[in-house]
Structure 1
Amino acid sequence: MRIAMANDHAGYALKLEIAEWLRDQGHEVEDFGTHDTQACDLPDFVYPAALAVARGEADRGIFVDGVGYGSAMIANKLPGVFAAVAQDPFCAGLARSHSDTNVLCIGGKIIGSALALDVVRAWMTTDYLGTTEEKYARRVGKVAEIAERHVRPLGD
């Protein structure tokens, strides 16, 4: 699977650990930066990574900032991107199984690397239940319909 990764200065170290784990699992990781711990502006890195997911150039995205919410706010502005913040494996699994999220946002100031890797593992290995249970497909479909009414398609 192709994974777009992005971070700000607060998520740099954790992103590196997650990327290593993903590669060890056989995934292809595209790192949109940042590439150090110097203070930076999160949108400069999350936006291009989220665009890669929206355009289908990446299958999923994993973004790491201070608390995760900034990344999710940015990513969810794009059509076809369904981002969730998860700080524990239970919520990460539900974000995949119930909501078919394609972007995971994690707070590098909130959880340590051991828990973060458990969160990523849960999210990466959980299947969406909408393929077998109609209620999840119906609910996600309603969200997609809202996006179709209010989110503009990507321009070139």
Structure 2
Amino acid sequence: MNVAVACDHGGFPLKEAVLEAVRAAGHTPLDLGTDSPTSTDYPDYATRVAAAIRAGQAERGILMCGSGVGICIAANKHKGIYAAICHDTYSAHQGVEHDKMNVLCLGGRIIGTELAKELVRAFLGAHYSGEERFERRFQKTAAVEQEK
């Protein structure tokens, strides 16, 4: 699977570990920046990942900023993007299995590189269950996008 990865300066300390974890899980990372710790704007990177997913260049995405909050909010403004901050492995896989989460958001000032790697493994190893109750809930959530 192709995985779009991007961060602002606050998430930059996790970036190499995340790219490494994507590769180690047998997937291909699509590095969409930033390439330095110089101050940047997180919405730009959320837009890059969303565009890659919507264009079919990536099936999932991983975004990082200082807390994970700003980049998560920005990502969720894009149609077809279901992003969540996960700083525990249960949420990282359960969000995919039950909620069709397609973007994992991490806080570079909140977690360390080893936990980030574990979260990436949990996220990328999960698959949507498709159970009727989860699909019903997902369809209700997706319908909200159509109201915009």
TM-score (norm 1): 0.90
Deviation at 1:37, TM superposition (A): 0.7
The unaligned stretches of length 5 or more in structure 1 are 151-156
1:23-80, CA deviations, whole angstroms, 9 ceiling, x for partnerless residues?
Answer: 2332111111110111111122221121111222211100011111111111111111
- Structure 2: which 5+ runs fail to align? none
- Note if contact 1:81-1:103 (Cα within 8 Å) is conserved in structure 2: yes
Partner of 2:21: 21
User: Are 2:35 and 1:41 equivalent residues in the alignment?
Assistant: no
**Consecutive aligned runs of 4 or more in structure 1 exceeding 4 Å deviation:** none
Distance in 2, matches of 1:93 and 1:48, equals 23
State how 1:85-96 maps to structure 2 within 5 Å: 85-96=85-96
Q: Is 1:32 matched up with 2:32?
A: yes
What do you get for the CA RMSD once the two structures are aligned? 1.1
Q: Take 1:122 and 1:28, find their aligned partners in 2: how far apart are those partners? A: 16
Letter of the structure 1 residue corresponding to residue 97 of structure 2: S
Q: Which letter maps to 1:138?
A: R
Equivalent pairs, count:
148
* Greater length-normalized contact order (CA 8 Å, ≥ 6 residues apart): 2
Counterpart of 2:133? 135
Equivalent in the alignment of 2:123: 123
Q: 1:46, 1:74 within 8 Å by CA — same for their partners in 2?
A: yes
